[in-house]
Chains A and B, each alone.
Chain A
Amino acid sequence: GAGVSQSPSNKVTEKGKDVELRCDPISGHTALYWYRQSLGQGLEFLIYFQGNSAPDKSGLPSDRFSAERTGGSVSTLTIQRTQQEDSAVYLCASSPGLASRTQYFGPGTRLTVL
């Protein structure tokens, strides 16, 4: 079937605005992850979902960042009051879950905060 999809592919916003990024995992994958890749930086973990619950939110950089997952499928990452340092590529990955930890990445959303 289809791979992980993300939307939008690109998002340009003004500082202080809120943005929502969407991830649609591979069908049947119970685990979903959000990562961030900034220019010149490595991939940084943000949050992990198993089903609809988030056992690990340790990577969220501030309380402006939140994420939810509904129906064990689609996830939304919300960034409130965006700052220029939030500019990055936001990557979503999914895995089958406890049976396999192999993660497959979506194409990413490039966020630019002006």
Chain B
Amino acid sequence: QKEVEQNSGPLSVPEGAIASLNCTYSDRGSQSFFWYRQYSGKSPELIMFIYSNGDKEDGRFTAQLNKASQYVSLLIRDSQPSDSATYLCAVIGGANSKLTFGKGITLSVRP
């Protein structure tokens, strides 16, 4: 059973702080890693994708991948109340194309 695990939440941070969201995966052959944001009652929205070890930055978001440790994270700098949502980590394995999702973590940014 290929699994994607995320920290149990919820996570609450004050406005302006850095939110750190973590994810581990079990399939060592995984090649593609994604972070989706899902507001209540809405569908998942792609935030970041990363394929190579290291950091990838896009505005206030940084994705970090460590394949040796089978670990991927998302940092949100200068967190805003509008960042309050559920964040889903998703992984595509080596031989297939389907996304395997973690359960998600709910982030709350306090004004």
Which residues of A does B touch, CB under 8 Å? 31, 33, 35, 42-43, 45, 48, 50, 56, 59, 89, 91, 93, 95, 101-108
Q: Which of A43, A50, A89, A107 contacts B99 (CB 8 A)?
A: A43
Number of A-B contacts (CB under 8 A): 49
Q: Evaluate contact between B46 and A104: CB separation under 8 angstroms.
A: yes
Q: Which of B36, B49, B99 contacts A45 (CB 8 A)?
A: B99
Interface on chain A toward B: helix, strand, loop, or mixed SS?
strand
Interface on chain B toward A: helix, strand, loop, or mixed SS?
strand
- With a 10 A CB-CB cut-off, give which of B32, B45, B97 has the most chain A CB atoms: B97
Which residues of B does A touch, CB under 8 Å? 32, 34, 36, 42-46, 49, 88, 90, 92, 96-104
- Nearest CB of chain A from residue B35's CB, rounded to whole Å: 11
Nearest A residue to B98 by beta-carbon distance? A45
Q: How far is the CA of A6 from the CA of B99 in the complex (A)?
A: 19
Q: How far is the CA of A105 from the CA of B104 in the complex (A)?
A: 16
9 contacts between A and B (CB under 8 A): A33-B97, A35-B99, A50-B97, A91-B43, A91-B44, A101-B97, A103-B34, A103-B99, A105-B43
Q: Evaluate contact between B43 and A45: CB separation under 8 angstroms.
A: no
- Nearest CB of chain B from residue A43's CB, rounded to whole Å: 4
Q: Evaluate contact between B34 and A43: CB separation under 8 angstroms.
A: no
Q: Evaluate contact between B43 and A106: CB separation under 8 angstroms.
A: yes
Q: Evaluate contact between B97 and A102: CB separation under 8 angstroms.
A: no
- Nearest CB of chain A from residue B6's CB, rounded to whole Å: 9
Q: Which of A56, A59, A104, A108 contacts B97 (CB 8 A)?
A: A56
Residues on B with C-beta less than 8 A from A42 are 88, 101-104
Nearest B residue to A3 by beta-carbon distance? B43
With A91-B43, A95-B97 already in contact, 7 other A-B pairs whose C-beta atoms are closer than 8 Å: A35-B99, A43-B99, A45-B98, A48-B96, A48-B98, A56-B96, A56-B98
- Nearest CB of chain A from residue B82's CB, rounded to whole Å: 19
Q: Evaluate contact between A33 and B102: CB separation under 8 angstroms.
A: no
- Nearest CB of chain B from residue A21's CB, rounded to whole Å: 14
